[in-house]
Amino acid sequence: MSELIPVLSKEQIRTLVEKVAKQISVDYKGKELILIGVLKGAYIFCADIAREITLDRLKVDFLRAASYGGGTTSTEEIKLTKDIDIDITGAHVLVVEDIVDTGLTLRFLIDHLKSYNPASIKICTMIDKKERRKVDLQADYACHVVQEGFLIGYGLDYDEKYRNLPGIYEMKL
Ligand code: 5GP
């Protein structure tokens, strides 16, 4: 049985999400913004942050990159398995990610989205995990920063399980 060490409670997550959503609402005031959630891990974070952003013209879409499988290390081979449906040409885009680890997934997704010529493209992540970053990539908005560890809960899985946990935990395998 693996040990689960609490990292963020449901209440702490709510406070952090509200704070970041408030900042996004200020930064994009008067603009149309398209949130692009990265499936599957960001589905809960994206739903929560969208409901806290107070912009009138907010759109939401999703894409999906092939990720972990059953292991706990990022694969360096990334594939787009679902593209966006909304036209983002000339639009302000905010990519909503669950966790940035090596940064390779987001680098790949950002390069892909840039090919549609959006007006701007920024990154919002629930967790910014610093230690294993391999590319020069900074999250513009991060709810919480950790150095290391394999996290589960609040959308984050291990072998497709634990996504439904309302808090975030570090899993000691
Ligand atoms: P990166 O390409 O930045 O190394 O990894 C990004 C993806 O790897 C995330 O979207 C997530 O799916 C997965 N990932 C990275 N770190 C963790 C972690 O601590 N826990 C879980 N569950 N997934 C992670």
Q: What pLDDT shows up at residue 72?
A: 53
CA distances from 71 to 1, 150, 158 (A): 16, 10, 8
Distance CA 145, CA 114 (A): 26
Residue ranges in the chain whose pLDDT is less than 50: 69-70, 74-75
φ and ψ of 142, to 5 deg: -135, 130
Distance CA 130, CA 98 (A): 14
Query: Active-site residue among 98, 101, 128, 157?
Result: 101
Q: What pLDDT shows up at residue 69?
A: 46
Select from 64, 79, 101 the residue to mutate for testing ligand 1; criterion: most ligand atoms less than 8 Å from CB. Answer: 101
The tokens for 69 are 């499988």
Ligand 1 atom closest to the Cα of residue 38 is 10
- Report pTM: 0.94
* Ligand 1 binding pocket includes 150 (Cβ within 6 Å): yes
Q: Which fold has domain 8-149?
A: Rossmann fold (3.40.50)
Q: What pLDDT shows up at residue 77?
A: 81
Residues 139 and 128: beta-carbon distance below 8 Å: yes
Residue nearest to atom 9 of ligand 1 (CA): 99
The tokens for 32 are 């149309």
